[in-house]
Amino acid sequence: MLRSRDAAPGLAFHDLGIQTSSVLCYHCGLDASISARAMTARCGACGKNLDIPDVRIKGHHWGGILVTCGRVSIGRKAEVTCTLAIGSLAADVLGRFSGVLVSGGPVTIGPKARFSGAVWAPSLRIERGASVTGGPFVVPCDPLGHITINGNGTQVPEPPPKRGAA
């Protein structure tokens, strides 16, 4: 005879001993439950592929898009030029960055940073001493789910509406 537990609908993976972690999908902005130690995964909500590990740039990086369900970190000595960088959780720029920076969480531009481009994020902190040019700075907004990520990274998408805007 089946015990009710065995037949329970909606049984979560962690009940079966497989660890899952909850990540924010940078395509659709929804919770994409994935297995805990995956490096890449498919979003459970929209079905698109996701890069899971944090993006940490310490040297030169040119071109394309940088995406992660975690945090984007541009190091103090880094020089990054890209079309688009997206971190679902947060982004920190301590060195040089040129491009559109999108985050589902707080963005920090450090005191020695030289930032040129746009920011779409719920919050933005610019430390004293930072050099910041470009724009627009669409803050606060909820950009995840409003971005069309072009695979070859040549097209800069339209920014999402500011939070609270009509």
Chain positions contacting Zn ion, by CB under 5 A: 25, 27-28, 43, 45-46
Q: Give the nearer residue to Zn ion in terms of CB position, either 88 or 108.
A: 88
Smallest distance, Zn ion to C-beta of residue 152, A: 20
Q: Which is nearer to Zn ion, 46 or 132 (CB)?
A: 46
Give the span between the Cα atoms of 54 and 66, in whole angstroms: 10
> Scanning the structure block, which residue is given the tokens 């009710």?
4
Shortest reach from residue 30's CB to Zn ion, in Å = 5
Task: State the minimum distance, in angstroms, from the CB of residue 31 to Zn ion.
Answer: 9
Look up residue 147 and give its two tokens. Answer: 């971005």
Q: How far is the CB of 49 from Zn ion (least distance, A)?
A: 10
Q: Which of residues 23 and 72 has its CB atom nearest to Zn ion in the complex?
A: 23
Closest CA to 26 of 41, 13, 11, 14: 41
| Closest to Zn ion by CB, 42 or 114 | 42
Q: Which residue has the tokens 């329970």?
A: 8
Residue type, 88: S
E strands present in 52-152: 55-57, 60-62, 65-68, 71-74, 79-87, 90-93, 96-103, 106-109, 114-120, 123-126, 131-138
Quote the least distance from Cβ 154 to Zn ion, whole Å: 22
Strand partners, 134: 117
Q: Which is nearer to Zn ion, 27 or 71 (CB)?
A: 27
